[in-house]
Chain A
């Protein structure tokens, strides 16, 4: 089932100037519900522009963006002529129906930023509250939830991201870089968005920090069944954590599929300024040296089990 869908989406910057640039060019793309989708592409390939269109922060020049089948940028005329909305409110008088439809859509727009949570690059720069707890509470508070529900969500989000409750009364500015990043992520998770969109969530973090951030994203998906979209330059992380991978190039979708389908195209990826995971390259080198590795390899785990069976140890240790 599609959670999000872009249909023939075009977006341009600096329209009407000498620098006019097409950031998205007739892009059609479906994001499957409950999956982790990775978006890769060189700088300027259109990834970040796409992110901004997913929660209505910006709207395309042409084309449509849908969340659960609802157009994010519908105009009044389109709404009032929608057959599904007409059917839903067919028992109402014409004027009451119009009012109901418009108010339903207004609610939809209002809740969009809670349903599609955006975690921008270096989100820790956006921390501003006096205490960690207040910062994580900011989103849920804006949703108008009860005190009790807010407290519960803040605790859950803190648990997911590994923010210790001992830190709740501290100023976010006294935390380390890795801790700040986790607090910022917890603030978005506390809104329990159905779609979590993250731009380079692990940029600038050390290896342990990277692993922690990605595990909490996977845990969030597993616990809530939410849809996750991750934009990243790290092919290793993408291969490890994503169910599906979308490759953007020159404002278009160049490739799309599960990680095996995508990372099999070594030459094309390289010509787009991208890479394959290091472990995939190692498997290539081993094949060249004559080791009988048959399966495609994209993670260290896959490489370990493939080589154990090549060495005649398959099964015994696993």
Chain B
């Protein structure tokens, strides 16, 4: 069992309705744990509370009730300015639109923006920026203007900016939603590397089912609550429950379910990748053929 890194206890948040005195609950008594070095995806329809929940994890939003523990320390008691900064350094965030996250006119200045504000000495600053750019594979673009970069490159610069603060955990809030397929691949492989090689805990909020399949564990949120959770194989075996809350399974898994509905006996325990689905279908096909049931 890995060491627990982030833990929430009955965490709740409500938005204030405009011109009205009622509060609209967005996250309801959510208790979740993330272990150190884990890669977790969060799925949920628009408005299910997943982004709100993510913003509670580094107190961009302040919970109305419940407790938050990060790295063994409670973070929901009265925090000093320094403690809050420490939390935001420990749990970094990358958002959807790369254009809204880049602030400087040169890539390396943008990456330096965070650590510079923390007052690191010059050499330390230089090292952090160089390391961060190297980690996301953007060293050769250090002196570029951000607006000359592709979407995937901009998003990697945004990640480098977070990395320069040496976080232990990074939350990606639909960070690939605006990218083209190659941009998505760039960002996803960067996320994977941060997790495997740097040991950074990853929380990836996404609407892409095949992206969620890369995680160790998937949380499915609905209506501000945790609906269920499990490994990608476990979660994607519950297709009808996912459909009921506006989600779906990846195309390959959907195919297996439709074949089952048409009377072909296929197991649904391991459908999280096209490779696994191909194995599932092929095994059934050859088993059946061996039994002589398939003609031709």
Are A304 and B177 closer than 8 Å at their CB atoms? no
Contacts of B140 in A (CB 8 A): none
Contact A282 B277 (CB under 8 A): yes
- What residues on B are CB-neighbors of A285 within 8 Å? 274-275, 278
Q: Which of A185-193, A254-262, A273-281 contacts B (4 or more CB under 8 A)?
A: A273-281
Report whether over half of chain A's contact residues are helix, strand or loop; otherwise say mixed.
Answer: loop
CB distance from B175 to the nearest CB of A (A): 12
Q: Which one of B177, B254, B296 lies within 8 Å of A300 (CB-CB)?
A: B254
Contacts of A200 in B (CB 8 A): 178
Q: Is B294 a contact of A282 with CB atoms below 8 Å?
A: no
Query: Judging by beta carbons under 8 Å apart, are B96 and A312 in contact?
Result: no
Shortest Cβ distance from residue B9 to the other chain A in the assembled complex, whole angstroms? 28
CB pair B285–A310 under 8 Å, yes or no, is yes
Check if A204 sits within 8 Å of B174, measured CB to CB: yes
Contacting residues, chain B, for A313 (C-beta < 8 A): 262-264
CB within 8 Å for A206 and B207 given contacts A178-B46, A289-B278, A311-B288: yes
Of B69-77, B196-204, B244-252, the one touching chain A: B244-252
Q: Are B274 and A307 in contact (CB under 8 A)?
A: no
Bound CA span A6–B274, Å: 39
Question: Given A207-B248, A282-B277, A311-B288, A275 and B282 touching (CB < 8 A)?
Answer: no
- Chain A CB within 8 A of B258 CB: yes
Let me know if B180 and A274 touch, CB within 8 A: yes
Q: Which residues of B contact A277 (CB under 8 A)?
A: 251
Give the distance to chain A from B109, nearest Cβ to Cβ, in Å.
19
The answer on a CB contact under 8 Å between B274 and A282 is yes
| Contact between A207 and B150, CB atoms less than 8 A apart | no
CB of B167 within 8 A of chain A? no
CB of B246 within 8 A of CB of A207, answer yes
User: B293 at the A/B interface (Cβ < 8 Å)?
Assistant: yes
Are A208 and B247 in contact, with the CB atoms below 8 A? yes
A250 on interface, CB distance cutoff 8 Å: no
Cβ-defined contact, B182 with A274, below 8 A: yes
| A42 interface residue (CB < 8 Å to B) | yes
Is residue A236 within 8 Å, beta carbon to beta carbon, of the partner chain?
A: yes
A176 lies within 8 A of chain B by Cβ: yes
With A177-B47, A285-B274, A308-B262 as known contacts, state yes or no: A42 contacts B207, CB within 8 Å: no
Residue in contact with A279 in the complex, picked from B150, B179, B184, B251, CB distance below 8 Å: B251
Contact B255 A303 (CB under 8 A): yes
- Of chain A, the residue at the smallest CB distance from B279 is A289
Considering the complex, give the chain B residue whose CB is closest to the CB of A21.
B148
Residue A44 lies at the interface, judged by CB distance under 8 Å to chain B: yes
Interface residues on A, range: 35 or more
* A317 on interface, CB distance cutoff 8 Å: yes
Write out the residue numbers on chain A whose beta carbons fall within 8 Å of the beta carbon of B288.
Answer: 311
Query: With the chains together, A277 CA to B210 CA distance in Å?
Result: 12
Q: Chain A residues near B81 (CB, 8 Å)?
A: none
Residues of chain B contacted by A236 (CB below 8 angstroms): 251
Residues of A within 8 A of B96 (CB): 204
The residue on B at minimum CB distance from A271 is B182
Q: CB distance B282 to A307 under 8 Å?
A: no
Task: State whether B259 touches A304 (Cβ < 8 A).
Answer: yes
Q: In the docked arrangement, what's the CA distance between A317 and B261, Å?
A: 10
Q: Which of A207, A275, A310 contacts B247 (CB 8 A)?
A: A207
Q: What distance in Å separates the Cβ of B264 from its nearest Cβ neighbour in chain A?
A: 5
Residues 22 to 57 of chain B near chain A (Cβ within 8 Å): 44-47
The answer to the question of A209 belonging to the interface, with a C-beta cut-off of 8 Å to chain B, is yes
User: Hey, which chain B residues are within 8 Å of A235, CB to CB?
Assistant: 181
Asked whether, in the complex, the Cβ of B282 is within 8 Å of the Cβ of A286, the reply is yes
Question: Across the interface, which residues of B come within 8 angstroms of A206, CB to CB?
Answer: 44-46, 207, 246-247
Partner of A43, one of B47, B150, B250, B278: B150
> Does A203 belong to the interface (CB within 8 Å)?
yes
Minimum Cβ distance to chain B for residue A113 (Å): 26
In contact, A44 and B274 (Cβ under 8 angstroms)? no
Closest chain A CB from B81 CB (angstroms):
33
Provide the residues of chain B in CB contact with A43, threshold 8 Å: 150-152, 179-180, 183
State in angstroms the CA–CA spacing of A174 and B17 once bound together: 9
Does A74 lie at the interface of the complex (its beta carbon under 8 Å from any beta carbon of B)? no
Distance A178 CA – B207 CA, assembled complex (angstroms): 13
Q: Is A134 an interface residue (CB 8 A)?
A: no
Known pairs A304-B259, A307-B255; A278 contacts B46 (CB<8 A):
no
Contacts beyond the supplied A207-B209, A308-B262: 12 A-B pairs with Cβ under 8 Å: A233-B180, A273-B180, A273-B181, A282-B255, A282-B274, A285-B278, A290-B282, A290-B286, A303-B255, A304-B259, A312-B295, A313-B264
> What 8 A-B pairs have minimum CB-CB distances, sorted nearest first?
A273-B182, A208-B246, A285-B278, A206-B45, A289-B282, A207-B248, A275-B181, A279-B251
Q: Could you list 13 examples of A-B contacts with CB < 8 Å?
A: A42-B181, A42-B182, A43-B180, A205-B207, A206-B46, A206-B207, A207-B209, A278-B210, A278-B250, A282-B252, A285-B274, A285-B275, A311-B285
Which residues of A are interface residues toward B (Cβ below 8 A)? 19, 41-44, 171, 173-174, 176-178, 200, 203-209, 233, 235-236, 273-275, 277-279, 281-282, 285-286, 289-292, 300, 303-304, 307-308, 310-313, 317
